[in-house]
């Protein structure tokens, strides 16, 4: 990444830092302040949208590490979220765990589920792995429905109001802060995980797994680590989701969600933490647009156009991105940033 003229890096630590200039820190602070005053200005509806975006951000960060960085394609992410969601729902509703204790258990359970379904990845890749993870999604949901006595089967499971200490997280505002806290934590940890030794190993595996193994990267260990980490994020997101709705049902974790999480990565740009956030925001806002435009279309043209638009919009957006901007919004963002950084010498912006 280039820097503005006149800002110098004098040692390695400075060069590797995420926030490298005063301006970066100021912008971070501004973003955090903006996030924290959101509830003062926005209605409950917008807060709900932002909360859902935050939950999806946590989940997609996990998928980004697994698919974007380690190259292990997973179309079963909603299934792993379901493991996390149901674990924390059962712990809270049946065993009386407090919310803060159930959340790590949920993360761990999802991580272990990820390890189990990640095992085939040691032998297979590409399309075979896609099929294995699709199978994981359906098998997990089927098992949840079968374990009727514990999970409530198709009826779902009500969850008591989440509490942290004496603070009840029942209002939209409280929960918004909680989710944003987790979204920020997830972003920080995700961005740092890929800067560690493990992260570099993930990238090596993604680029060429045979070459990586020859260089001494243990495929066995790192592929499973990627599955574990990715699914821990999914577990946290699943737990946040069911506690927000205070009800766990398999309908909250449909197969198509797993697909659209990958779609978010494509739209945002694979293998980039900012890309994951952009992708989530873009597709979630598209959803909102569809819910606004859909009824108007339905009234004006024909009743089924609303449902049709909802189905087609995601597909069309992904097709457009794949053909015209396969590197995603992240790449556009980098171009915009470079433009301002290099202004007025913008001819130096290179693709």
Partner 1 sequence: MTFFLQLVVTGFAQGMVYALIAIGFVIILKCSEVFNIAQGHFVMIGGYLGYTFLVPFGLPIWAALLLAIAVASVMGLLIERLMLRPMVGQPVLAVVMMTIALASVLEGLATLLWGAEYKAYHGLLPTITAKVGAISIPSESLIGLIISVICVVILMLLFRYTKIGLAMRATAEDLQVVQSVGIKATTVYAVSWIIACVVGVIGGILLGGVSGANMELANIGLKAFAVVLLGGLDSIGGAIVAGIILGMLENVAAGYLDPLLPGGGLAQVFPFIVMIIVLIFRPNGLFGLSRIERV
Binding of residue 343 to partner 1 (CB under 8 A): no
* 266 near partner 1, judged by CB under 8 A: yes
Number of residues lying near partner 1 (CB under 8 A):
50
Interface with partner 1, residue 207, by CB under 8 A: no
Burial class (CB in 10 A: 0-12, 13-18, 19+), 134: middle
3-state secondary structure of 247: strand
E runs forming strands in 226-314: 247-248
Please choose, from the candidates 109, 101, 102, the residue with its C-alpha nearest in 3D space to the C-alpha of residue 81: 109
CA angle 91, 93, 95 (to 5 degrees): 50
| String marking each residue 117-146 x if it binds partner 1 according to CB under 8 A | --xx--xx-xxx-xxx-xxx-xx--x--xx
- If one asks whether residue 250 binds partner 1 (CB under 8 A), the answer comes out as no
Q: Which of 13, 40, 292, 323 binds partner 1 (CB under 8 A)?
A: 323
Phi, psi of 6 (to 5 degrees): 100, -10
Q: Does 340 bind partner 1 (CB under 8 A)?
A: no
Identify which of 212, 181, 183, 282 has the alpha carbon closest to the alpha carbon of residue 69. Answer: 212
Identity of the residue, 46 or 134, whose beta carbon is nearer to partner 1 in the bound complex: 134
Residue with tokens 């293998």: 271
Q: Is residue 346 close enough to count as binding partner 1 by CB under 8 A? A: no
For residue 27, state whether it binds partner 1 (rule: CB under 8 A). no
Answer yes or no whether residue 318 interacts with partner 1 by CB under 8 A: yes
Q: Is 227:114 a contact under the CB 8 Å cutoff?
A: yes
Binding site for partner 1 (CB under 8 A): 67, 73, 119-120, 123-124, 126-128, 130-132, 134-136, 138-139, 142, 145-146, 148, 153-154, 208, 210-211, 214, 256, 259, 262-263, 266, 270, 303-305, 307-312, 314-316, 318-319, 322-323, 326
């Amino acid at each position: 990444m280039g820097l503005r003229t006149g800002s110098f890096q004098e040692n390695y630590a400075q060069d590797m830092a995420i926030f490298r200039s005063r301006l970066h820190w100021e912008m971070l602070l501004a973003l955090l302040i903006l996030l924290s005053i959101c509830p003062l200005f926005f209605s409950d509806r917008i807060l709900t949208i932002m909360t859902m975006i935050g939950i999806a951000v946590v989940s997609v960060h996990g998928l980004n590490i697994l698919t974007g960085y380690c190259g292990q394609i997973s179309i079963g992410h909603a299934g792993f979220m379901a493991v996390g969601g149901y674990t924390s729902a059962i712990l809270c509703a049946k065993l009386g765990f407090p919310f803060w204790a159930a959340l790590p258990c949920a993360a761990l359970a999802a991580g272990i589920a990820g390890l189990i379904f990640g095992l085939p990845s040691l032998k297979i890749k590409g399309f075979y792995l896609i099929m294995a993870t699709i199978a994981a999604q359906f098998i997990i949901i089927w098992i949840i429905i079968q374990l009727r006595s514990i999970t409530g089967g198709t009826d779902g499971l009500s969850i008591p109001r989440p509490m942290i200490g004496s603070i009840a997280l029942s209002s939209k505002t409280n929960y918004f802060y909680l989710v944003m806290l987790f979204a920020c934590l997830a972003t920080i940890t995700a961005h740092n995980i890929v800067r560690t030794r493990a992260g570099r190993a993930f990238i090596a595996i993604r680029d060429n797994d045979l070459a990586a193994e020859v260089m001494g990267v243990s495929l066995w260990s790192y592929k499973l680590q990627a599955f574990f980490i990715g699914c821990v994020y999914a577990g946290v997101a699943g737990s946040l989701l069911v506690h927000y709705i205070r009800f766990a049902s398999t309908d909250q974790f449909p197969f198509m969600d797993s697909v659209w999480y990958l779609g978010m990565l494509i739209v945002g740009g694979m293998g980039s933490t900012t890309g994951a956030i952009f992708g989530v925001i873009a597709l979630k806002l598209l959803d909102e647009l569809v819910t606004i435009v859909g009824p108007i279309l339905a009234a004006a043209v024909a009743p089924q156009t609303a449902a049709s638009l909802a189905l087609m919009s995601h597909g069309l957006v992904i097709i457009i991105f794949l053909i015209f901007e396969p590197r995603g919004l992240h790449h556009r963002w980098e171009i915009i940033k470079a433009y301002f950084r290099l202004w007025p010498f913008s001819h130096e912006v290179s693709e």
